[in-house]
Copies of this chain bind each other. A is one copy, B any other.
């Protein structure tokens, strides 16, 4: 790592917990790496070798059954942390959904560093707690929501998380954005098939709730209505 102080996610990644001198030490443990769309960094069931901060790009966290069924259990944005620290095996895969830049650490050296830097572990704990909240919210979706509710929830979630991406903390819900997922991946996040995803989107478009300028773009025309359809708590 050349110079963490110039890093675009310097203030929002967990590294924000560190003082400049500590950051420099951590920086020497890491290396910046580009990964291209579709590349898998971590394989489900393999030894947990690496962890990383996401500098740019979007990745998916997924688990699967031996017959090929796959569930996406997390979507990772810039400034987020990936990998399974403090554990021998990774129970899930991590794959780039777009070209991405990462700041990679060997798990063992990261673990050792973190144990000696409580402020960093504290940030990591906070993030893990937030990730757990999100996972549980999604369990409610997967266990109890209808197809329409699932799609509406996903679109709202994307409009929020894509809006807070980057280095600033400003929160602006986007009303037009490019989905980082194709239809199949949307299905794999929502526990639905590609056909059901497509039909539900077509219906929301026909009802004037959203617009679909092209395959990846979504515009939210009536956010209030989308919120009602999402069956938020």
Chain A residues packing against B (C-beta within 8 Å): 44-45, 61, 63-67, 69-71, 73-74, 84-87, 91-92, 115, 118, 121-122, 124-126, 128-129, 131-133, 135-140, 142-145, 188, 190-191, 231-233
Give the oligomeric copy count.
2
| 14 chain-A/chain-B pairs, Cβ below 8 angstroms | A63-B140, A63-B233, A64-B140, A65-B145, A67-B231, A69-B145, A71-B140, A73-B136, A84-B133, A86-B129, A125-B128, A132-B132, A135-B135, A139-B142
Query: Can you add 12 more A-B contacts, CB < 8 Å, to A87-B129, A91-B133?
Result: A63-B139, A69-B144, A73-B136, A73-B140, A74-B136, A86-B126, A92-B136, A118-B121, A135-B136, A138-B139, A139-B139, A142-B191
Inter-chain contacts of A64 with B (CB < 8 A): 140, 233
Q: Which of B63, B121, B136, B143 contacts A61 (CB 8 A)?
A: B136
B-chain residues with CB within 8 Å of residue A128 when the two chains form the complex = 125, 128-129, 132
**Minimum C-beta distance from A187 to chain B (A):** 9
5 closest A-B pairs by beta carbon, nearest first, are A143-B191, A142-B142, A118-B118, A73-B136, A135-B135
User: Could you tell me the distance between the alpha carbons of A137 and B84 in the complex, rounded to whole angstroms?
Assistant: 14
Q: Name the distance in Å between A62's Cβ and chain B's nearest Cβ.
A: 9
Most buried by B among A124, A125, A128, A145: A125
Q: Given contacts A118-B121, A122-B115, is CB(A70)–CB(B144) below 8 Å?
A: yes
